[in-house]
Structure formats: C-alpha cells, structure tokens
Amino acid sequence: MIDKPRSSLELWPVGNCQVTGLIDQTGGLVWGCVPRVDGDPVFCALLNGDRQDQGVWRIELENCVSATQSYQRNTPILTTRLEAEDGSAIEIVDFAPRFRRAGRMYRPVAFTRIVRPLAGKPRITVNLSPMKNYGEAVAETTNGTNHIRYLIGAQALRLTTDAPVGYVLEKRTFRVETPLHFFLGPDEPFSSNVGHELEMMLELTDHYWRHWVRGLATPMEWQKAVIRAAITLKICQHEETGAIVAALTTSIPEAPGSERNWDYRFCWIRDAYYTVQALNRLGALDVLEKYLAYLRNIVDNANGGAVQPLYSVMGEAELHESFAEHLAGYRGMGPVRKGNAAYSQVQHDAYGQIVLPTVQAFFDRRLYRMADEADFASLEQV
C-alpha cells in the first residue's frame, strides 16, 4: 500500500501562464493559487503541516500500491498512473488549458483533470477540499446537477464534471467504468458536454505546447532536459502582464527549521533577466516581448524615482510582509509568509538588468514592437 501522504518537494508543475499547480508523487494537487500565482492558495496542503486532507485535490485509488508519472512529450501535461493490489488501474491527466480561441489566447483560471480506467474494476475517492484565506477554513459549497460551487471569499470556483456530484461532495468511494472529466474554474456554466469539451481542450493544449517547443533552437545534446526546463520557465511567466516570478511557491524553508521562509511569488528584476536570457538563447521571443512590456510599465510607474528589486505580477510596488497564521508550514516548519519586505531594499543591479534586455528591443527586428525614442527617454528618467 502507498504510505499516507506527506509533504514532499518531489513535485510536478502544470500551468498555462495564468495559473499553476503542483502535483505530488501520488497525483494530489497540493499547491495552487487563484486568480494568479501570488493569490490565495486554495490548494495549500504543501504548507498545511499534518492536515494533508485539506487544501488538496486527491483522486485516490482504493488499495493503491504503486504510482508512476510522466509528462506528455514536449508539454506540461502530466499523466499519473495508479495501480491497485488486484491489478486495477487508472490514469489521471492533469493540465491547465492553453490554446488559441477566437483569435486570442485562452488560458482560464482553471485546473483540469481527466480520470480514465485502464484495467480491472478500479474504485476511487475524490477528495476536493479547497481552502480560503491562506488556510483559514475549507470553502463552503453549493451544488447543482452537474456542478459544485466552492465559495472562496468574494469569488467562487465551479467544478463542472460528469462524475456523480454526490459522490464527490460526500467523498464516497465508487467504481470508475468510463472516463471522468473535472473542470475547476470560473463560476460559469458549461454550454456543451463537459467530456467532449475537455477532451478537445486537452488536444488543443497538447498541440499548442508541441508547436511552441518546435520553435525552440535546442541543441541535440541534453535536448529533453533543455525542453523541460524551457517549458517550466515559460509557465513562470504571468502572461497578462509579462512578469516572471522567481518561484511558484512561498515559504519553502532555505534549511530545515531555519525559519528563513520567504515568499518568492513575485517578479525580481534580476532573476527575471536571467530567465529571459536563457529562453532568448533558445529563440523564445514571445517571453522576452511580454517581459519588455512589463518593464516599460515598471519604468513608467517609477516616475523618475528609484526602481525596486521586485514587484508583484501586476506591477504593484508595496508588497507588505505578513504571516499566514493558519498554515503550519512545509512539514510543520513555519512561518508561512505572504508578501516580501525586500521590496523596500535598494539593489542597484536592477538598473543594469533593465538595460540589458531592453537593449535588444532597439535592434532586434524580429520583435513585433521595437523600442523607440520615447522608450529611451523613459529609461533616462530612472
């Protein structure tokens, strides 16, 4: 039998440049924030100490004895295979939809899971228990025929599914005989068959990522590792603004029991430059172009004053630091912080790391928008 879940840093990221989730070695979604990477961690089991049954989305196979995981080639689409003592087996496909629709990029604040029976008579239990306000309480629910609404403060997440809603609500164990589809996202009804829609989203998301990777200038040596690293860095960008976060998590200890636990879900000008530099060497100009737009807004908002070492993904300057008192921390090693007081520090290297990527904007004719005299004048002000 697989041991009782315990927080681990052996995690598999999935994302769509709007939201990201971290999946543990048994297929549990243990970390995920909404509506952005620096938002409320509705899935917070990673930092929830011994309370591993809250702030999590687990699809548990009865009498499970093994779990194997892999990404679909050249994508952040994760497949987890679970096998039971009697040979029964399922696979869980995790992804965040990302593809072009109606002439623009569709990247909803949504986590998508597909469960497929592979062998025998598998029985599963769905434990979906998002929390609100940094682990203060499990979200209240309301439900309809084919959906469950999870109330997380001023907003709600809606689970649309073709699985039995009552079984999900009551965490009852049931047999999986056909593929089951789960879409946890905006509080909006589905206008079509959820199974058909999610299978189509999976196909389109797979196509998007394979097409993106096809455009990378990757060497033959270590190509698989380079591609995987590029995809992971790509989903660290908040595409709406172009910001690139230093990490997808907060408060993972620098060393056990050190209390040096910091919130890195922000855009450090220095770190983001090195990310852009690495991806630029592979030809990922889309990441650079979005980030340059973010920098232009940072420079404009500075109004000729000092540039901070970090900003929020929305460009907010004040990132006041506080403690999330309801979360025990990774393996109980608190504190859990939200915000980062380093925003008030003076780090002069930030100026150089604004100039370095911006220089390319004045000369690289591949860019949709090259820099101009107005951009140069803005840079001179800081």
pLDDT tens-digit map of 299-343: 999 887 889 999 999 999 999 999 999 999 999 999 999 999 999
Confidence of residue 378 (pLDDT cuts 50, 70, 90): confident
Q: How many residues does the chain have?
A: 382
Q: Could you read off the pLDDT of 118-135 as tens digits, one per residue?
A: 999 999 999 999 999 999
- HSE toward the beta carbon, residue 77, CA cutoff 13 A: 22
Could you tell me the pLDDT band of residue 1, with boundaries at 50, 70 and 90? low
Q: What does 351-372 look like in DSSP terms, one character per residue?
A: HHHHHHHHHHHHH-TTSSS---
Using only the alpha carbons of the chain, give its radius of gyration. 21
- pLDDT of 177 > 70? The answer is yes
Q: What is the mean pLDDT of residues 189-193?
A: 87
Q: Kindly give the interhelix angle for 285-302 and 373-381, rounded to the nearest 10 degrees.
A: 50
Q: Are 167 and 200 spatial neighbours (Cβ–Cβ below 8 Å)?
A: no
pLDDT at 317: 96
Percent of the chain with pLDDT over 90: 88
Average confidence score pLDDT of the chain: 95
Q: What is the Cβ-side half-sphere exposure of residue 5, based on CA atoms within 13 angstroms?
A: 31
Measure the CA dihedral 110/94/252/60, to 10°. 110
The tokens of 147 are what?
A: 């959906």
What pLDDT score does 304 carry? 73
User: 152 pLDDT band (50/70/90 cuts)?
Assistant: very high
pTM score, whole prediction? 0.95
Give the pLDDT score at 153: 83
Res. 154 pLDDT band, cuts 50 70 90? confident
Question: Does a cis peptide bond (omega within 30 degrees of 0) precede residue 309?
Answer: no
What is the DSSP code (8-state) at residue 209?
H
pLDDT tens, position by position, 222-239: 999 999 999 999 999 999
User: Which domains are present in the chain?
Assistant: 1-214 (2.70.98.10), 220-382 (no CATH)
CA dist list (Å): 171 to 60, 127, 136, 167, 273: 10, 6, 21, 6, 45
Report which secondary-structure segment, H or E, holds 79. strand 78-84
Confidence band of 4 (pLDDT split at 50, 70, 90): low
CB 265 within 8 A of CB 33: yes
Strand, coil or helix: 191: coil
CA nearest neighbour of 234 among 283, 187, 198: 283
